[in-house]
Chains A and B, each alone.
Chain A
Amino acid sequence: MPKDGGIGADTKRREDVRYLTGTGRYTADINTFGQAAAVFARSTVANGVIKSIDTSAAAGMPGVLAIFTGEDFAEVGGNPAGWLINSRDGEPMKEPKRPVLAHGKVRHVGDAYAAVIAETVEQARDAAEAIVADIEELPAVVDMAEALKDENLVHDEIETNQCFDWGWIEDNRAATDEAIKNAPHVTTLELVNNRLVPNAMEPRASIGTYDRAQDAYTLQTTSQNPHLTRLLISAFVLGIPENKLTVIAPDVGGGFGSKIYHYGEEALVLAAAKKLGRPVKWVADRTESFLTDAHGRDHVTKIELACEKDGTFIAFRTETMANVGAYLSNFSTATPTFLHGTLMAGNYTVPHVYVNVKAVFTNTAPVDAYRGAGRPEATYSIERVIDKAARELGMDAVEMRRKNFVKPDQYPFASAAGLEYDSGNYDALMDRLEEIIDRDGFAERRKASESRGMLRGLGINSYIEACGIAPSNLVGVLGSRVGLYDAATVRVNATGNLSVMVGAHSHGQGHETVFPQIVGEMLGIDPASIDIVHGDTSKIPFGMGTYGSRSLAVCGSAMVRATEKIIAKAKKIAAHMLEAAADDIDFTDGQFTVKGTDKSVGFGEVALKAYIPHNFPIEDIEPGLEETAFYDPANFTYPSGAYACEVEVDPATGKVSVDRFVAVDDFGNVMNPMVVTGQVHGGLAQGIGQALLEGAAYDADGQLLSASYMDYVMPRADDLPFYEVDHSQGTPCTHNPLGVKGCGEAGAIGSPPTIVNAVIDALNSGGKAVTHIDMPLTPARVWSAMNTA
């Protein structure tokens, strides 16, 4: 049993109190004396040449303080992509500049070409509408296959719409082709991984402030990783020295990837604040979020699975077109490549894998990492084609998976897609799943549904993902332009309480509660005496932020290492206080004891001694008790799971209802089961949303048809069931100190194929030989598939 409030306890979240009482402090809640408001003028066409922008009428309107256009930022840098991907022919990817404001051309609906700063937001909005932009509309490039014909260009200067043509692993291509050519059975599936809008409930917002006395800037912004934002603004976009720029991400209302990235609005409010000598605040409305937040997914894939007649896998081969939108967002080139292709062996011992990804520019919003980021796309392709292959071969799809699972005695396992899985037990996950879903009872439940005129389907699949990004040495070889370690400082105050400064940002994940559980247990002190400080570059040492389910596995590991340093130093102080050698000191439950004696001092006394160092061996030990650690992981972590759902399909309407959803995940060790379960719930809702409801729809002119909650279907409470979530089969990660793997994205990764597999199963049970329907499985699509099969 976990100790009270320690590792493994279901500690209630302390941050909840402020959110439940309306005292949270999100960026839009912050008002600063003298602040002005920014509103952006955005393109209403998807592709066009900016002939002129006449701001004269707008400039004379009430309250207007300044107007910026792309011309004002023509000489500053662009917002870069964080990963350099090389094409199969060795050529580096195409990297057109992403300016602060559109200059020369607009490239998607919503692309900002001007910004108005005024006394009030209403005045700024009125003036933005009075800007006269002469934009010559060009044919929009929307469909990826059309884009690759290069008849119309998103970026004229690169002379193509193809960003890169990547092969993974290129040296394995010939062998994979040969294996597929000679295989007894090949199943082919063409599928679309539908484009999604992350839709954090808090729209993006930024406040720029400039302090003339210090020549220093502060940016308060809706960010998952303030240090990365600072680095991008400093090193690439505005050139503000890092020591003159503080980035603060206060309470942030969800991110799901969309708030990893640096956006032009952040640079604009900083530049405007300096020009005006006043704080400048911008808050997006929801339609701006739809038009300009980085979207997710948007792959078109052909996957082939070659296997023996007995279902033994021989090869996976895929060809994918991945949309990157109009500009390269910061992680956009890593997401369809190293976060996708490397997972294309799934949970399986398949000997051959080859992945080809063409990244395509289109006149749409940038596409980047969204909850799962590449792994949902890989999982969906693999787990859908396996079900199709099993159906073709007349095999049970679960048995087919089990036949090919990596077995527990094969770790560390080198996958055919180039990763080394450290731990897992996929059969144990599947056993537990089949038990909870009561697979044996499914036939009865199907009968019961049929007696009510409904078709019942069961979908079961596995997933594996790579989290905790990542080993800097490895990602450096793979093209990353940054390191992906994290950092923490543990500060023990004189009176024994602690401030722990961490690089990971918490925007729903519960770090403020869970991280103290860990440090509290290590130090044998009450977690309530430990505060987590995050989201402020002036207070924390460094950090690469929160994404890729990395907070605990990477930043948590840094925190553990810093706490170990605290213990090591405290032991020396205790040894001095107890007149013993440091090696003779035991530390348990917050007490330092001389081995074999009853001589001891408590943690609090040692802390006090560190700050009031009377009779202190200053030759050997510095006063104070504060330690910092940077942690760079040795490998990715590999969460895995087995998911099952049961759906009912109404044959009269095609409507799908999710009756049950069971998720059995291996996250390694679990620090706070309540929080971990909550993370799975949220991921499942987003995955089920992708499968059944959500889709960002652009028309042929590049107009976003789904740009509000009246058009884009967000999952509501009555679309979803209670979930059954289990973590009992965890296998600890072998290479980080807590043995944790990461839980933030699993639900969104594992669930889309489960739903689609279940619907296909339901339709086939009703005698409809449907092999595939593209997501979202709307009633219209399901009904139409049933009635054309």
Chain B
Amino acid sequence: MPTVSMTVNGKSVSGEVEGRTLLVDFLRNDLHLTGTHVGCDTSQCGACVVHVDGEAVKACAMFALEAEGAEVGTIEGQANADGSLNVIQQAFQDHHGLQCGFCTPGMVMSAASLLKENPKPTEAEVREYLEGNICRCTGYHNIVKAIMAASGQDLSAIAAE
């Protein structure tokens, strides 16, 4: 079997994979980074979103071999160096932006990508960006709120609860 090498959350890793091994399976099964989830197998739900060379990618729609030499970031590498939650993670907790937690890693990774591209997104921009991330628990209200809060915007205009 061919060998693949990449950097994951700043650490060099390598492993033997089949040609058909998906990046998400390499992360979960070979590296035991099970925070990246598989929710649909058809690249719709976004539970498997990771960063590859700085871009949000659905790890179920990419072969491990395609990530040869890449810088991969997963949910396990998102917290601050001291282990505390980063700004986005903290905003999700502060605003109750998660319930069962299964879609959450993908949401956090997508949110990070969004805020990198667009540091002050409008509500509509956040909602549109999340097209590829499905959540069945929250009804999205608190996810949208959390992402806007993480961007440092004033939330007082958002509908009363």
Contacts and interface: CB of A to CB of B under 8 A. Distances in A.
Given A681-B142, A723-B139, A201 B94 contact: no
A633 interface: no
Nearest to B109: A22
Contacts of B89: 20-21
A189 B46 CA distance: 40
A708 B43 CA distance: 10
A682 B127 contact: no
Interface in B96-110: 96, 98-105, 108
B141 A254 contact: no
B134 A709 contact: yes
A618 interface: no
A508 B76 contact: no
Interface residues of B, number: 62
Interface bin, chain A: 35 or more
Contact of B137 (A28, A508, A708, A718): A508
A285 B39 CA distance: 8
Interface stretch (A9-17, A372-380, A552-560): A9-17
Contacts of B32: 31
B156 interface: no
Contact of A678 (B34, B75, B76, B99): B99
B113 interface: no
B102 A253 contact: yes
B93 A17 contact: yes
A22 B35 contact: yes
Interface string A282-298: 00011100000000000
Contacts of A708: 40, 42, 44
A26 B85 contact: no
Contacts of B85: 17, 20-21
Q: Chain B's interface: helix, strand, loop or mixed, by majority?
A: loop
Interface in B131-161: 131, 133-145, 158-161
Contacts of B37: 26, 28, 201-202, 253
Nearest to B33: A22
B66 interface: no
Interface in B68-86: 74-76, 78-79, 85
Contacts of A8: none
A678 B138 CA distance: 6
A22 B74 contact: yes
B23 interface: no
Contact of B142 (A122, A678, A709, A715): A678
Contact of B40 (A286, A677, A681, A682): A286
B120 interface: no
Interface string A509-524: 1100000000000000
A231 to B, nearest CB: 24
Given A29-B28, A201-B45, A717-B126, A20 B92 contact: yes
Interface centre among A19, A23, A203, A682 (most CB of B within 10 A): A19
A253 B101 contact: yes
B38 interface: yes
A747 to B, nearest CB: 8
B141 A723 contact: yes
Q: For A21, A122, A510, A685, which residue has the most chain B Cβ atoms within 10 angstroms?
A: A21
Contact of A22 (B75, B133, B160): B75
A19 B141 contact: no
B41 A286 contact: yes
B59 interface: no
B18 interface: yes
A1 interface: no
B112 interface: no
A520 to B, nearest CB: 19
A434 to B, nearest CB: 15
Contacts of B96: 12-13, 674-675, 677-678
Interface in B24-72: 28-29, 32-42, 44-45, 47
Contact of B161 (A31, A286, A724): A724
A714 interface: yes
A234 B10 CA distance: 48
Contact of B42 (A28, A252, A436, A709): A709
A683 to B, nearest CB: 8
A726 B161 CA distance: 6
A686 interface: yes
A416 to B, nearest CB: 34
B44 A723 contact: no
A400 interface: no
A176 to B, nearest CB: 38
B117 interface: no
A718 B79 CA distance: 28
Contacts of A236: none
Nearest to A251: B101
Contact of B41 (A251, A287, A686): A287
Nearest to A287: B41
Contacts of A681: 138-142
Contacts of B101: 15-16, 18-20, 24, 251, 253, 508
A130 interface: no
A675 B100 CA distance: 12
Given A254-B137, A718-B127, A677 B42 contact: no
Contact of A19 (B18, B34, B98, B126): B98
B74 A722 contact: no
A716 to B, nearest CB: 6
A715 B131 CA distance: 9
A726 B42 CA distance: 38
Nearest to A510: B99
A507 interface: yes
A256 interface: yes
Interface string A328-367: 0000000000000000000000000000000000000000
A22 B107 CA distance: 12
B1 interface: no
A287 B85 CA distance: 34
Q: Which 5 A-B pairs have the closest CB atoms?
A: A22-B35, A19-B101, A253-B102, A685-B139, A508-B99
27 contacts: A16-B92, A19-B101, A20-B104, A21-B75, A22-B34, A22-B36, A24-B102, A122-B18, A200-B102, A201-B135, A202-B39, A253-B101, A254-B137, A436-B160, A507-B100, A508-B99, A678-B99, A681-B141, A681-B142, A708-B44, A714-B136, A717-B128, A717-B133, A718-B124, A723-B139, A723-B159, A726-B161
Given A21-B89, A714-B44, 20 more contacts: A12-B93, A18-B101, A20-B93, A20-B101, A122-B20, A201-B47, A201-B103, A202-B100, A202-B102, A256-B136, A660-B159, A677-B161, A682-B99, A682-B138, A717-B130, A717-B143, A717-B144, A720-B140, A724-B159, A724-B160
